[in-house]
């Protein structure tokens, strides 16, 4: 009798086929909304789709698997709590991008960048610059929101397609995010697998360097194979830029402040806040006329300066410069422009939490374990599982943790060192996160650059090549030797 009661109260594990139902609902509804709403899907349609898919998951979990709502609710709350620091950083990035634009920091970087960077080498230079900055900062988000926006403006003026520009920026930024010892994803991947940090970074170079080399070669060839913009168009843009903003090398002290804070390992939240405040002070000194115009007040006074400055941080700002390209570049959205992304992330966490609590995520990933017979199959299954978790959980941090926990014992049983797992996690999870529209990284980069994920996805060569390179290297057996027990161990 007691055993029968216990069996009734014990939740059932959903089958892999049943576990795929919410995912199929998500993919189907997203396909419909993208077709109908186009570029406006992030304004609310995608959020409704994610909540609907989460509701389907909860319905199956409660009715078919006997899982209590409280269990699912706890998992959802935990998921949202886990990304709360990222939400705060996202809002601060909105304030940072708005203040850096209005203060003249980004226009100054664009002005001198156009003079220095030759169009033929623009894409490869952009990728290298973002890689270097990201290695130094350890953050792809900060790199893209600062240097990335400036390089995006330069590329637009030089006539490059926005997908190519965003692809070069993201490829470089995620190279640095992947290998920098300051990167939270790098530290997380090494710690969750029990791999020493610098051993993890050194071993990643086996797949990362070839991936980056191929990426740079593609961008170099693409730069030489295109026609450059007419010099008259660039000249008109430069005139409009210098006419709309007070261009000064002194403005570059603002990025310098951010670099100093990063080098001193100050918290990202504090660093972004102080960098935005420094840009606000620069706006008061160098661009007071712009602040008066943004305020919309008729009388130029301290009140109009204060109102314009505060609006720079949180509101949409449109500055008429007389040049259509510059008008698009100069438009900012501040913290309010990030609210749709924040809303989307919360809805994505609801879907991820319900999939985790219901056991459906584990049910689906168990399918990948069947392919883990040889080293190449093990690595392929890890990469595929990591990408799938990126799709379902919509968060790279959660995907790294789940992939590491799921495969750690499997790699041990197969006699593989932990650094093979840590490298594969970075190749399969970290770099693919910005390629998924509803992932926190995909949403952020699309919002910051103003380019849809599907537009830049085909041009993020580093992010596309890295997972494949991880599988190819494993298939060749490079730096992987068999021991006497016929189990794989890294040399």
**Residue-wise pLDDT tens digits, 242-261:** 888 888 989 989 988 888 88
Please report the pLDDT score of residue 96 as a whole number: 86
Specify whether 331 is located in the same domain as 349.
Answer: no
The yes-or-no verdict on residue 7 having pLDDT over 70 is no
488 φ, ψ (degrees, to nearest 5): -85, 140
Model pLDDT, residue 486 = 45
Domain C-terminal end among 276, 309, 337: 337
Confidence of residue 491 (pLDDT cuts 50, 70, 90): very low
- Say if residue 109 is in the same domain as residue 237: yes
CA distance 70 to 66: 12
Select from 337, 361, 381 the last residue of a domain.
337
Residue 381 has pLDDT above 50, yes or no: yes
Residues 43 and 92 reside in one and the same domain: no
DSSP codes, 33-87: HHHHHGGGGGGTHHHHHHHHHHHHHHHHHHHTS---HHHHHHHHHHHHHHTHHHH
- What pLDDT, on the 0 to 100 scale, is given for residue 481? 54
Distance CA 165, CA 83 (A): 28
- pLDDT digit string, tens, across residues 190-199: 877 888 888 8
pLDDT 10s digits, 94-132 = 888 889 889 988 888 888 887 888 888 999 999 999 998
Q: How many domains does the chain have?
A: 2
pLDDT band at 6 (very low <50, low <70, confident <90, very high): very low
Q: Which of 30, 126, 226 is nearest to 460 (CA)?
A: 126
Range of the domain at 238: 85-337
Q: Report pLDDT digits (tens) over 195-225.
A: 888 888 889 999 999 999 999 999 999 988 8
CB 127 within 8 A of CB 171: yes
Same domain, 320 and 194: yes
b/e map 334-365, b = 16+ CB within 10 Å: bbbbbebbbbbbbbbbbbbbbbbbbbbbbbbb
157 and 304 co-located in one domain: yes
Domain assignment present for residue 402? The answer is yes
Give the model's pLDDT for residue 65: 83
The candidate with the shortest Cα–Cα distance to 156, out of 451, 460, 454, 461, is: 451
> Is 395 in the same domain as 485?
yes
Statement: residue 305 has pLDDT above 80? yes
The length of the chain is: 491
pLDDT of residue 368: 67
pLDDT value of residue 487: 46
Q: What is the pTM of this model?
A: 0.73
Average pLDDT of 327-331?
77
Residue 45: its pLDDT value, please? Answer: 82
**H or E segment at 243?**
helix 231-244
Distances (CA, A) of 193 to 127, 146, 186, 188, 200: 30, 32, 11, 9, 10
Mean pLDDT of the chain: 83
Residue 27 lies in a domain: no
- 302: which residues sit within 8 A by CB, 6+ positions away? none
Q: DSSP string of 213-235?
A: HHHHHHHHHHHHTSPPPPHHHHH
Highest mean pLDDT, choosing among 44-48, 217-221, 377-381, 389-393: 217-221
Which of 337, 370, 397 corresponds to the end of one domain? 337
Kindly state whether residues 263 and 304 are assigned to the same domain.
yes
């Amino acid at each position: 009798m007691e055993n029968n009661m216990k069996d009734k109260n014990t939740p059932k594990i959903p089958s892999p086929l049943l576990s795929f139902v919410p995912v199929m609902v998500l993919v189907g509804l997203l396909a419909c909304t993208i077709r109908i709403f186009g570029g406006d899907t992030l304004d609310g349609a995608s959020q409704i789709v994610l909540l609907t898919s989460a509701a389907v998951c909860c319905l199956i979990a409660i009715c078919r698997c006997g899982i209590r709502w409280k269990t699912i609710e706890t998992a959802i709350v935990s998921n949202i709590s886990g990304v709360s620091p990222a939400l705060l950083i996202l809002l601060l990035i909105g304030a940072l991008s708005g203040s850096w634009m209005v203060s003249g920091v980004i226009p100054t970087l664009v002005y001198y960048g156009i003079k220095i960077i030759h169009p033929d080498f623009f894409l490869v230079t952009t990728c290298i610059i973002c890689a270097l900055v990201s290695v130094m900062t350890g953050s792809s988000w900060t790199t893209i929101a600062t240097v990335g926006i400036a390089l995006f403006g330069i590329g637009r003026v030089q006539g490059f397609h926005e997908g190519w520009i965003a692809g070069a920026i993201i490829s470089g930024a995620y190279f640095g995010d992947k290998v920098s010892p300051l990167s939270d994803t790098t530290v997380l991947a090494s710690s969750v697998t029990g791999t020493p940090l610098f051993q993890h970074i050194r071993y990643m170079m086996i797949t990362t360097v070839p991936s980056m080399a191929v990426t740079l070669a593609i961008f170099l060839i693409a730069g030489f194979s295109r026609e450059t913009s007419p010099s008259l168009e660039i000249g008109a843009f430069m005139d409009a830029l210098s006419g709309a903003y007070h261009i000064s090398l002194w403005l570059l002290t603002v990025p310098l402040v951010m670099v100093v804070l990063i080098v001193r390992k100050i918290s990202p939240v504090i660093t972004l806040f102080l960098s935005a405040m420094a840009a606000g002070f620069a706006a008061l000194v160098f661009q007071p006329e712009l602040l008066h115009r943004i305020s919309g007040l008729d009388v130029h006074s301290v009140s109009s300066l204060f109102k314009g400055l505060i609006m720079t941080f949180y509101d949409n700002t449109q500055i008429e410069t007389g040049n259509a390209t510059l008008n698009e570049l100069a438009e900012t959205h501040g913290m309010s422009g990030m609210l749709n992304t924040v809303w989307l992330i919360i809805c994505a966490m609801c879907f991820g939490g319900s999939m985790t609590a219901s056991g459906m995520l584990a049910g689906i990933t168990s399918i990948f374990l069947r392919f883990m017979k040889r080293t190449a199959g093990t690595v392929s299954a890890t990469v595929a599982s990591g990408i799938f978790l990126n799709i379902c959980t919509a968060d790279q941090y959660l995907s790294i943790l789940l992939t590491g926990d799921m495969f750690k014992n499997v790699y041990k049983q197969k006699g593989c060192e932990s650094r093979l797992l840590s490298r594969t996690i970075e190749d399969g999870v970290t770099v693919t996160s910005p390629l998924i529209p509803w992932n926190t990284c995909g949403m952020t980069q699309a919002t910051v650059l103003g380019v849809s994920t599907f537009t830049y996805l085909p041009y993020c060569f580093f992010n596309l090549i890295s997972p494949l390179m991880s599988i190819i290297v494993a298939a060749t057996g490079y730096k992987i030797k068999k021991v006497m027990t016929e189990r794989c161990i890294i040399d």
